[in-house]
């Protein structure tokens, strides 16, 4: 933080402003509870209500009474998405332009790539707590584990239970990837299963605040599923075992047909081609192992859905469901990490059942199918990486005529800050970087008009994009810029960069202006893992020289 005195003054001013705003709102009883459910590494087509075959009746029920967004964008990767969602800013603005620094490996610098959440921003929890909300969180934090100032209780949450780091074992988390209750590390017992336990604790938190007073609550429930290791419970794994033996081409055709039937995509849509080997080119043992990997992934999502049912049932029993806004989304597209064919086999999941920390990984070939009909996956900002399901449910606030329909306007992560402020009657503070989002409440109210007139931007690992109305500029690192007319070509199949050079050049100039302003490393990217490896080699070389 470059100027702590200015920051302190701004926070004091913000606190006073919020106290005054809250005094005016104190008599209101209609402010909704707000729940944001974030899942980890789930593809665009995995949910039943987005075309998938995995059993997700509880999530589908939220969609049937709420809204499904078809063009909601994340930041392409785990912790950049969390940083943007929590702050209403771009990841680079809050110190997580790439990733959070690994435990006990500080990067040693400040700014866009410092590897932990900046002090010079405010979180949704900090804003809503000042507005009189109880602020609760369970699950994956991933905004800086070494620096206590970055932890949930220090960034606006009244109560927290979950994992401060990135990936961790669903059954047996431990070490630097263990579980924290408040600010204290805790040991889990044999009954622990992350997806279940995070929901159980969240429900207890809701019961506690409901018994305490009538003030609304904000819950951030951040599941680590279905991130690797794919620690499905055995029952759920067995439920899906054998259902993917026809392979990824068959799965993509089924999902696309269902998406068309739902009206999610146009009848004449051209799906992105699959990247990876033909299913029939693989041997019997490979195909059996790959069926097991996909069954583990499906089992993890099935468990998420069961827990969404548990949460909504709990809210209904308490009489809180009707006026609770629930947002459900994924932090990025399905994960290709683990190689083309993923990692794991039947041998890995028998004893103990899927509890290994080394873990099952989905892999590129299945990830492409899970992102049907889009291109690419996690890490990238083509549609397969950066566009994922987002469901909004609010029985009291979403009208019957509008409920169950699709929202086809563009929205993205920073919009949550502006939306929560409007829902709560709170104010985003002056003296900090301006919130980059706008409220999506008009879309929830059935006003089918764009909320984003100005461009929105992305960058991760040199993968970059800009969305400006129906135009999208996008590239993979070190490859040429591509240009797409998204109203005609959602799957990014017809590159117009050569035929529309003026539009391409105009958008490239705007993206570079944004990147410069936000300390984005370009044309050379910044990759924290490469930086740490280089630093390690330099230290080893220096040690040998001595």
To the nearest 10 degrees (0 to 180), the angle between helices 194-212 and 284-317 is: 10
Contact at 8 Å (CB) between 160 and 182? yes
Question: Which tokens is 85 given?
Answer: 């969602």
Closest CA to 359 of 134, 164, 527, 172: 172
CA distance 313 to 309: 6
Catalytic-residue membership of 78 = yes
CA distance 401 to 137: 33
Catalytic-residue membership of 18 = no
Peptide bond just before 362 cis, omega within 30 deg: no
Computed on alpha carbons and rounded to an integer, the radius of gyration of the chain in Å comes to 22
- How many whole angstroms from its chain centre is CA 456? 17
Q: Which one of 18, 49, 78, 150 is the catalytic residue?
A: 78
Stated length of the chain: 546
Using DSSP bridges, classify how beta strands 72-73 and 134-140 pair: parallel, antiparallel or unpaired: unpaired
Contact at 8 Å (CB) between 91 and 85? no
CA distance 354 to 345: 10
Q: Which one of 120, 134, 142, 452 is the catalytic residue?
A: 142
- Strand-pairing partners, residue 458, are 465
DSSP at 288: H
Residues with catalytic roles: 78, 142
């Amino acid at each position: 933080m470059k100027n702590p005195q200015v920051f302190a003054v701004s926070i004091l001013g913000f606190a006073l402003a919020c106290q005054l705003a809250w005094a005016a709102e104190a008599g209101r009883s209609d402010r909704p509870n707000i729940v944001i459910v974030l899942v980890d590494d789930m593809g665009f087509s995995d949910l039943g209500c987005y075309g998938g075959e995995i059993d997700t009746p509880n999530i589908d029920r939220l969609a049937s009474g709420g809204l499904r967004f078809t063009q909601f964008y994340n930041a392409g990767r785990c912790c950049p998405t969390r940083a943007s969602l929590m702050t209403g800013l771009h990841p680079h603005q809050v110190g997580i332009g790439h990733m959070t620094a690994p435990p006990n490996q500080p990067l040693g610098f400040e700014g866009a790539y410092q590897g932990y959440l900046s002090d010079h921003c405010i979180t949704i929890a900090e804003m809503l707590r000042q507005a009189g909300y109880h602020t609760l969180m369970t699950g994956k934090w991933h905004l800086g584990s070494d620096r206590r100032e970055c932890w949930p209780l220090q960034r606006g949450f009244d109560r927290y239970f979950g994992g401060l780091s990135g990936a961790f074992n669903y059954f047996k988390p431990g070490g630097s990837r263990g579980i924290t209750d408040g600010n204290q590390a805790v040991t889990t017992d044999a009954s622990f299963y992350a997806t279940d336990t995070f929901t159980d604790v969240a429900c207890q938190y809701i019961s506690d605040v409901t018994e305490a007073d009538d003030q609304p609550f904000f819950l951030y429930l951040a599941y680590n599923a279905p991130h690797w290791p794919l620690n499905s419970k055995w029952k759920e794994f067995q439920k899906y075992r054998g259902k993917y033996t026809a392979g990824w081409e068959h799965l993509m055709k089924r999902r696309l047909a269902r998406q068309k039937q739902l009206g999610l995509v146009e009848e004449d849509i051209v799906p992105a081609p699959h990247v990876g080997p033909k299913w029939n080119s693989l041997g019997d043992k490979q195909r059996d192992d790959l069926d097991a990997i996909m069954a583990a992934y499906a089992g993890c999502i099935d468990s998420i859905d069961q827990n969404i049912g548990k949460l909504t049932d709990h809210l209904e029993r308490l009489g809180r469901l009707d006026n609770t806004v629930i947002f459900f989304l994924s932090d990025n597209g399905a994960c290709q990490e683990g190689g083309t064919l993923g990692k794991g086999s039947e041998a890995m999941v028998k004893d103990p059942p899927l509890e290994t920390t080394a873990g099952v990984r989905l892999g590129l070939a299945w990830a492409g199918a899970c992102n049907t009909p889009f291109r690419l996956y996690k890490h990238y900002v083509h549609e397969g990486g950066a566009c994922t399901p987002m469901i909004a449910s609010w029985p009291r606030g979403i009208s019957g005529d509008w409920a169950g329909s699709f929202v086809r306007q563009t929205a993205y992560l920073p919009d949550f800050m502006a939306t929560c402020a409007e829902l709560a009657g709170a104010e985003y503070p002056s003296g900090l970087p301006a919130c980059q989002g706008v409220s999506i409440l008009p879309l929830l109210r059935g006003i089918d008009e764009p909320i984003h007139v100005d461009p929105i931007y992305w960058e991760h690992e040199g993968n970059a994009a800009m969305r400006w109305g129906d135009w999208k500029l996008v590239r993979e690192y070190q490859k040429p810029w591509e240009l797409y007319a998204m109203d005609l070509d959602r799957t990014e199949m017809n590159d117009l960069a050569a035929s529309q050079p003026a539009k391409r050049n105009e958008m490239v100039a705007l993206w570079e202006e944004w990147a410069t302003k936000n300390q984005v490393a370009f044309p050379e990217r910044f990759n924290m893992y490469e930086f740490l490896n280089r630093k390690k080699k330099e230290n080893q070389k220096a040690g040998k020289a001595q």
